[in-house]
């Protein structure tokens, strides 16, 4: 049985899908995508501002997750690391924008401390 050291495995020259297309296909790597029968992937259109921000969060989070898995096996791939960092920066900005406009997405959000919690007013009369 032959064993390979995946950290020294020479990778082909990889290209990456743009985040919109990656989320639609379910794959950041175009050479890895195999379509299913007659299915034609499409991106949503006619989105409200809130929906468009959520779509942006989903696409950047998807690419970061997919590249994170790839980088676990190929930690020296600087092209992938650079693309990961670019998308992580975009994800952070879009999340902050969404939370500033609408509501916190996680319990560790900075916006939770800036706004009163929605149930606080319910307990004002109990004092």
Which tens digit of pLDDT belongs to each residue from 82-94?
999 999 999 999 9
Assigned domain for 47 exists: yes
Q: Is the CA virtual torsion 120, 118, 108, 101 positive or negative?
A: negative
Assigned domain for 12 exists: no
Q: 43-73: string of b/e by CB count within 10 Å (b at 16+)?
A: eeeeeeeeeebbbbbebbbbbbebbeebbee
User: Domain tally for the chain?
Assistant: 1
Q: Over the stretch 16-69, which tens digit does the pLDDT of each residue have?
A: 999 999 999 999 988 878 888 888 888 888 999 999 999 999 999 999 999 999
Using a 10 angstrom Cβ sphere, with 0-12 exposed, 13-18 middle and 19 or more buried, the burial of residue 25 is: middle
Assigned domain for 89 exists: yes
Q: Over the stretch 90-106, which tens digit does the pLDDT of each residue have?
A: 999 999 999 999 888 88
DSSP secondary structure letter of residue 102 = S
pLDDT at 33 (0 to 100): 80
**Domain span at residue 88?**
19-30+42-126
pTM of the model: 0.78
């Amino acid at each position: 049985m032959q064993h390979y050291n995946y950290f020294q495995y020479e990778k082909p020259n990889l290209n990456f899908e743009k985040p919109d297309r990656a989320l639609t296909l379910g794959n950041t790597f175009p050479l890895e995508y195999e379509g299913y029968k007659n299915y034609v992937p499409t991106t949503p259109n006619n989105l409200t501002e809130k929906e468009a921000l959520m779509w942006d969060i989903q696409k950047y989070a998807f690419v970061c997750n997919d590249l994170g898995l790839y980088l676990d096996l190929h930690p020296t791939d600087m092209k992938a690391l650079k693309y990961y960092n670019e998308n992580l920066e975009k994800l952070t900005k879009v999340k902050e924008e969404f939370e500033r406009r609408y509501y916190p997405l996680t319990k560790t959000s900075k916006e939770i401390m800036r706004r009163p919690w929605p149930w606080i007013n319910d307990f004002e009369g109990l004092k």
